Amino acid sequence: MDQLSTRPRTPLTLRRTILVVSVLLILLIAVCVIGLSIGSVSIPFSSILASLAGDASVSETERTIVLAIRLPRVLLAILVGAGLSVAGVVFQALLRNPLAEPYILGISSGGTVGAILAISLGAASVATPMASFIGAAAVMFLVYSIAHRRGHLDTNTLLLAGVMIGAFFNAAVLLMIAVFNQELRNAFLWLMGNLSMASIDSIAVVAPFILLASIALMFLSRSYNLIATGDETAMQLGVEVAKIKRASYILASLITGLAVSVSGVIGFVGLIIPHMCRMVFGPDHRLLIPASFLIGASFLILADVLSRTLIAPTEIPVGAVTAAIGAPLFVYLLKRT
């Protein structure tokens, strides 16, 4: 597959960027309303506004559904969908590979091992995200330690180390599921991605890090345009390639580890959203990254709505929904391009 092009199809202006971001932000707000209103119990728009405003006229049942159940899921979907999409854009730019995605370095496998170990040992629900992040951080540290040679981060070694360590930890996941089979359902929900564990407390912990890391990556967008043309060309144009790559890998991996820690492994978001945005808005990362941020958030909210309503009252893991949508869509994009 050809490397990613970095030449915009149309000139990118500040006016165009503001217009696109504004439209996508309005779209995200509309999707948030859909996420708050649709479910096993439909909530009218007026009740949503009243619940958010603290109006006493709304019924206690509707207020509880909106504020305690659906709002945390919508906020978590925004964080995870936006974060994974931004991380996917960055990995594809740095590796110059359109098949790169946030889980490519095996970080999700480490997070899954930590989560399933906590679930299998009967740890409190609060401890599961913490154990997942510790596992993801441990794999991130291990992969980067292997790839860091003579003061430089070797991209090929990074990829190979990520694939091999990810395979090892995937085997560990299967072993733990076989040994601790009494918790199979919770373990499989984690493996397939799940937003039902969303809580304001967990969102408050991960939101600042995911948002700040995503904003930092947006500020590096011009450097990604130059790096995508080749490291030597970028260095000649004044880009500190080694430093930018090191910081970007760490920030994108941090986003991935945090997302896995609170939602499990939700596939295809970080792979398909960057491709869709690249086809619609062009490959300039100054627009591609914020567009992916907003569309990734909207996409995961809609996927979560489908997971809650398709066979209600039974809930489908949201990762199964994103895979069912993402796989055919990716095949379609491959045939188009």
CATH of the domain at 258: 1.10.3470.10
> Within a domain: residue 46?
yes
Please determine, for residue 85, whether its predicted confidence score (pLDDT) is greater than 70. Answer: yes
202 vs 182: CA distance, rounded Å: 26
Count of CB atoms situated within 10 Å of the CB of 7: 10
Phi, psi for 204 (deg, rounded to 5): -65, -30
74 CB-contact burial (10 Å; exposed 0-12 / middle 13-18 / buried 19+): buried
Q: What is the pLDDT of residue 112?
A: 85
Question: Quick check: 113 and 176 in contact, CB under 8 A?
Answer: yes
Inter-residue long-range contacts of 2-7, CB under 8 Å, 24+ positions, other chains counted: 2/98, 3/96, 3/97, 3/98, 3/228, 4/92, 4/93, 4/96, 4/97, 4/98, 4/228, 4/278, 4/283, 5/228, 5/283, 6/225, 6/226, 6/228, 6/229, 6/283, 6/284, 7/283
> Within a domain: residue 7?
no
Please determine, for residue 4, whether its predicted confidence score (pLDDT) is greater than 60. Answer: no
100 vs 245: CA distance, rounded Å: 15
C-alpha distances in Å from residue 292, one per residue of 86, 185, 230, 248, 297 = 6, 32, 23, 16, 8
pTM above 0.85, yes or no: yes
pLDDT in tens, 34-58: 999 998 888 999 999 998 888 878 8
> Within a domain: residue 294?
yes
Domain range for 178: 14-336
Please determine, for residue 76, whether its predicted confidence score (pLDDT) is greater than 60. Answer: yes
> Within a domain: residue 8?
no
Q: Which token pair is 53?
A: 């405003």
> Within a domain: residue 2?
no
Question: Quick check: 112 and 265 in contact, CB under 8 A?
Answer: yes
> Within a domain: residue 6?
no
> Within a domain: residue 4?
no
Q: Count of domains in the chain?
A: 1
Between 23 and 119, whose confidence is greater?
A: 23
Please determine, for residue 66, whether its predicted confidence score (pLDDT) is greater than 60. Answer: yes
Please determine, for residue 310, whether its predicted confidence score (pLDDT) is greater than 70. Answer: yes
> Within a domain: residue 227?
yes
Q: What is the pLDDT of residue 7?
A: 44
Beta bridge partners of 152: 149
